Structure formats: structure tokens, C-alpha cells
Amino acid sequence: MEDDHRIAAVSEIPDDTTFLFTIRNGFDEEEAILVEQDGEIRAWRNYCQHWTDVRFDKGDGATVRDGELVCGKHGALFEADSGVCTYGPCEGAVLEAVDIAVEDGAVYLTDPEYEFVQRGSSIEYDLSSNRSLGFD
């Protein structure tokens, strides 16, 4: 697996929150999160299916409780392993997956649609409105 696709060591993925990283699709930078549940790691795009301008992880980790990712805005719950919303205003919706692979204790981006940019966010946000600046 190529080093420039390496997102993080498996040991860096927290149990009760998410690991934020930035990917690029053409000229557009976007965010994704890693979530670990029962030893399985998944990657999802970092936005809610209810209001797509709402990020789960705003830079300090999203809440993961009992295997479900919690949207802080209206409390929707998404299964960490399937991405399915089990409760809330977007019940039945499914998160957008990002392809990853785990090899030799590290997580790599394998999704052909995206390039890995960096750990954390590289996108500037206007915190007063919770929207990204200039990339909508």
C-alpha cells in the first residue's frame, strides 16, 4: 500500500469518537471520518443525511455511542458499520461511504474517487454559520 494513501495507524482510531481527515475529488476538498466498531473500521463522508451542511466531526471528534454515530444537530443516529440512520429525521437514509483498507496496522484510502490530502480538516469554516467558505 502506498504511503501517500496512509490515513492513520489503527491504534489512533478512538473508541468513542471519530478520526477526521481530508480528501480531494478533482479540485474539491471534502472531509471524511473513520469510525471503529468491534474491531472493524469504516470511513464515511463527514456530513449528516438530514442537513448536508452539518458536519458530524467539527474537528474535535463526533460522538459514537453503542456503535452508533450521533449527529449533534438533531440527534439522528447512524449505525457505525452500515451507515444506516436508525433514528431521527432522516431515518432510513445511508451515509456516503469512502473506501479504505487496513494493512499492517494502518488505514489506507483506496477509493478511486479520492486522493488523500491530510489528517484533520484543511477546509476553512465560518463558525458563526457552520458553513464552509467558498466551496459550496
Q: Which residues bind ligand FES (CB under 6 A)?
A: 48, 50-51, 54, 71, 73-74, 76, 88-89
CB of 64 to ligand FES, least distance (A): 15
Cell digits of residue 19: 478520526
Smaller CB separation from ligand FES, 41 or 76: 76
Rounded to whole angstroms, how far apart are CA atoms 72 and 104? 34
Whole-angstrom CA distances from 29 to 2, 40, 64, 82, 93 are 20, 26, 24, 24, 23
CB of 88 to ligand FES, least distance (A): 5
Rounded to whole angstroms, how far apart are CA atoms 53 and 83? 17
CB of 69 to ligand FES, least distance (A): 10
Smaller CB separation from ligand FES, 65 or 74: 74
Cell digits of residue 39: 474491531
Smaller CB separation from ligand FES, 1 or 93: 93
